[in-house]
Structure 1
């Protein structure tokens, strides 16, 4: 295995394990600090806003900063965020830490780590292994996210003592230092000619950039209503479910997702990337809409698991789809620009969720997210059905 690919996998695994813990813990941590549902929704907004800003910086300074340097900078911010959250309970410092911490609210990530790693991954493996490499990359993401979700239940066994939350933010800070050291040793020979900004895209590439970014942003708008942190908090509000149950539930969610990511490239080899993306994503969104309809926790949990069995199959196939559409020199810039607008689009969901949940509108996150995502599925198939399978 290419050592650079191995370092990316190591970094990804550590990040999503820690984010799997923190993304579920944070709403509960803030709840026990006395935050309202609205402020908890705003905290998720701040996390996503931080990812937006870090992607924007990557986009603006793409021609001036090399990949390794930026990976080291965001790794250091990741670490500092954890240490601040461990030390302080100040609302200002909490929000500042959530902003700079590049916390992922899902196993897939949308911050600068994802933008860079997904962009350079095809350069680190054989061209015939690209689809499966993306499958492995995302499989590890959800596998370690599932372990993080299971670990997040620990504070429930300590009666939600505040220190039982804080210790995981310390772990987050230490993990960031390990990622930093890992990338200090990362050797990637970047060709300066590939440091292209938007103005360097040719006419066809710009058209695809604008269109695909708009489509992906539509999907992200729907996804912003149903980030893992909000869904976990929703189960607590709707059914009174504690972290003792939510931890194992989201462990199962992420394990099922991880398995599906290994299957996705195999299906794509038969159906093509686009068809695999659309068919699996469409079915999963029907399951998503079903989650809040019933009054039974077990039925809602069943539809959540069914949804996760297909919802992320579009992740490795989407990444391989981008490889089909864009030339090598455009990919990192495309990822940073696209992820920036995806993150911006996803900003609106969590504050609206906070208002909806505070006012008892418990179906809104799932209905809004599901129907917006279904619109995206039909749209991307319509525009690209004649370009690729």
Structure 2
């Protein structure tokens, strides 16, 4: 009976996460198409992406403070409400300044990944609903469900093309997808509402990055920020923009491409867990990441669409294998008392760093240096991998000693 009660909230959370990532999946692809259709430049698209990521980072910091003093279920419902408002308001405005404000304050996610105010709340709820023995397995399933849903959302980005064939203007069709995004927020809110409320516990001592692992946490935070800054040059919206401008890719073709990148990324999670048991966490992170960056750099010079797509699919199959291994490594090399602060201190700087680069990428696109965002991303990520290996190859988690 106890087990059934603990599984049920996680089930609602899985469903809500899948709905949210489905919405993020199609919005990340449609956002640059929508903004270009409104007459905005690639630079302005990049600024919108930066505003969105920076706003998400700021809201995540605020959520981190509120989470200790408010019921997590209520905060998740508030976040779902913000998602509904974002989807309802975006298609109603054409003014760039207002769009920028909505992108900053709303939930539009140009990276179609787990960079949003929902993530720390969902992690906290999920962690309290499972035993320590089942936590890793549950988080792996949680990530897999979200990645598959995001892939399905990428495929749904082709719906406006289908609507165009039915006689609906493309701009109107994309606006209807914003309405679908709002509906997804409503459905997600209904699932969050099924999670039972929990009484708030007030702790006298708040975790801080001041324990024996302080130097480790600071180094990891700095390195992870470099990785995130690099990734910001090729967030999903900007990668879609590159494909549209470089190869004149259609919306339907882009949807199919991002569906398969999502599927490959999703199934790389369990493979990464399997591989890390054989070669170690740091080696798994580095030696899968470097080939993915090389594939990205080669794609920048690909003379044809099939070759570029092939290289980007190789990248998708490898680039996310550091996600579960990175989280596992951080939790393994700090003391148990420092785990909460370590998770927060290494994630928030990542979000802020990722917010800085899309505008720079947009400026490069606007100046017709279309290959440079991909090359800068690849170069910085390889630098990050080599520094990570140099700094932490001797600091092994307990299971590898």
Q: What is the TM-score when the length of structure 2 is the normalising length?
A: 0.89
Unpaired segments ≥5 residues, structure 1: none
Asked if 1 retains the 8 angstrom alpha-carbon contact of 2:71 and 2:198, the reply is: no
For residue 270 of structure 1, report the CA deviation from its aligned partner. Answer: 2.6
Which of 211, 216, 220 aligns to 2:224? It is 216
Which of 72, 95, 98 aligns to 1:93? It is 98
Asked if 1 retains the 8 angstrom alpha-carbon contact of 2:71 and 2:197, the reply is: no
Asked if 2 retains the 8 angstrom alpha-carbon contact of 1:194 and 1:330, the reply is: no
In structure 1, C-alpha distance between the alignment counterparts of 2:152 and 2:204, rounded to whole Å: 36
Q: Which residue of 2 aligns with 1:147?
A: 152
The range that moved more, 148-157 or 224-233, is 148-157
Asked if 2 retains the 8 angstrom alpha-carbon contact of 1:79 and 1:173, the reply is: yes
Which of 119, 130, 136 aligns to 1:131? It is 136
Q: Which residue of 2 aligns with 1:285?
A: 293
For residue 315 of structure 1, report the CA deviation from its aligned partner. Answer: 1.1
Q: How does 1:173-212 map to 2 (within 5 A)?
A: 173-187=182-196, 189=198, 192=201, 197=206, 200-212=208-220
From the superposition, tell whether residues 251 and 353 of structure 1 become closer, same or farther in structure 2 (CA, over 3 Å). Answer: same
Unpaired segments ≥5 residues, structure 2: none
Please state if 1:161 is matched with 2:166.
no
1:101-130, Cα deviation, whole Å (9 max, x unpaired): 223333431222222333553443343333
Q: Which residue of 1 aligns with 2:48?
A: 43
In structure 2, C-alpha distance between the alignment counterparts of 1:194 and 1:320, rounded to whole Å: 26
1:17-67, Cα deviation, whole Å (9 max, x unpaired): 000011100100011111111111111111101111101212444543343
Asked if 1 retains the 8 angstrom alpha-carbon contact of 2:228 and 2:350, the reply is: yes
In our comparison, the structure showing a higher alpha carbon Rg is 2
In structure 1, C-alpha distance between the alignment counterparts of 2:203 and 2:156, rounded to whole Å: 40
Which of 269, 273, 278 aligns to 1:270? It is 278
Please state if 1:18 is matched with 2:26.
no
Q: Which residue of 2 aligns with 1:298?
A: 306
Secondary structure of residue in 2 paired with 1:185 = coil
**For the aligned residues, what is the CA RMSD?**
2.3
For residue 347 of structure 1, report the CA deviation from its aligned partner. Answer: 1.8
Secondary structure of residue in 2 paired with 1:347 = helix
In structure 2, C-alpha distance between the alignment counterparts of 1:170 and 1:344, rounded to whole Å: 29
Please state if 1:338 is matched with 2:346.
yes
Please state if 1:80 is matched with 2:80.
no
In structure 1, C-alpha distance between the alignment counterparts of 2:54 and 2:298, rounded to whole Å: 29
In structure 2, C-alpha distance between the alignment counterparts of 1:115 and 1:367, rounded to whole Å: 31
Q: Which residue of 2 aligns with 1:117?
A: 122
Which of 243, 258, 282 aligns to 2:251? It is 243
Asked if 2 retains the 8 angstrom alpha-carbon contact of 1:62 and 1:195, the reply is: no
Which of 252, 256, 260 aligns to 2:264? It is 256
For residue 245 of structure 1, report the CA deviation from its aligned partner. Answer: 0.9
For residue 197 of structure 1, report the CA deviation from its aligned partner. Answer: 5.0
In structure 1, C-alpha distance between the alignment counterparts of 2:205 and 2:322, rounded to whole Å: 27
In structure 2, C-alpha distance between the alignment counterparts of 1:367 and 1:248, rounded to whole Å: 24
For residue 237 of structure 1, report the CA deviation from its aligned partner. Answer: 0.6
Q: Which residue of 2 aligns with 1:233?
A: 241
From the superposition, tell whether residues 28 and 296 of structure 1 become closer, same or farther in structure 2 (CA, over 3 Å). Answer: same
Please state if 1:314 is matched with 2:314.
no
The range that moved more, 200-209 or 136-145, is 200-209
Asked if 1 retains the 8 angstrom alpha-carbon contact of 2:54 and 2:356, the reply is: no
Provide the aligned length of Structure 1 versus Structure 2. 388
From the superposition, tell whether residues 378 and 131 of structure 1 become closer, same or farther in structure 2 (CA, over 3 Å). Answer: farther
Asked if 1 retains the 8 angstrom alpha-carbon contact of 2:209 and 2:341, the reply is: no
Q: Which residue of 2 aligns with 1:357?
A: 365
Q: Which residue of 1 aligns with 2:383?
A: 375
Q: What is the TM-score when the length of structure 1 is the normalising length?
A: 0.92
In structure 2, C-alpha distance between the alignment counterparts of 1:323 and 1:123, rounded to whole Å: 16
In structure 2, C-alpha distance between the alignment counterparts of 1:264 and 1:112, rounded to whole Å: 26
For residue 166 of structure 1, report the CA deviation from its aligned partner. Answer: 0.8
